[in-house]
Amino acid sequence: MALLDNNKDVLPLSSIAELLTTKVRTLKMYEEKGLFPSKSDSKKLYSINDVKVISFVHYLASVKKINANGIKYILEMLYTNMDEKNRKDFLDIVEQKMEKISGIDVSDVEVF
């Protein structure tokens, strides 16, 4: 049995929206602002690793209320100042924290 390749583009935005319990239009808005990993093909499929970045972007925008320019700056720092291992570890930590707050009202997130 082959192992899952986390870099293979297999998920459309509609599936990612369902995973994040948000609207496709919200994710398309982030995509249009250049906040997602760039995709050259017309199908716009994303990998599991891309989903981690997309969920981080969604968290920054919807929970922390950071605007597009702020998110671009954070992502730039993430990609220019961290090697791949540290970036992966950081996104894993963020994912764990996001799992803790899923299901909690946004007004209760500041306690997080």
Reported as a single tens digit per residue, the pLDDT across 60-93 is 998 889 999 999 999 999 999 999 999 989 988 8
pLDDT at 2: 57
CA 49, 51, 54: angle at the middle one, nearest 5?
120
Can you give the chain as a three-state secondary structure string? Answer: CCCCCCCCCCECHHHHHHHHCCCHHHHHHHHHCCCCCCCCCCCCCECHHHHHHHHHHHHHHHCCCCCHHHHHHHHHHHHHHCCHHHHHHHHHHHHHHHHHHCCCCHHHHHHC
Q: Residue 24: which pLDDT band, with cuts at 50, 70 and 90? A: very high
Distance of CA 80 to CAs 44, 46, 61, 71, Å?
A: 24, 21, 21, 14
| Phi–psi pair at 34, nearest 5 degrees | 80, 30
pLDDT at 6: 87
Q: What is the mean pLDDT of residues 33-47?
A: 86
Please tell me the distance from the alpha carbon of residue 68 to that of residue 30, in angstroms, as a whole number. 8
pLDDT at 104: 52
- Check whether 46 has a pLDDT greater than 60: yes
pLDDT at 14: 95
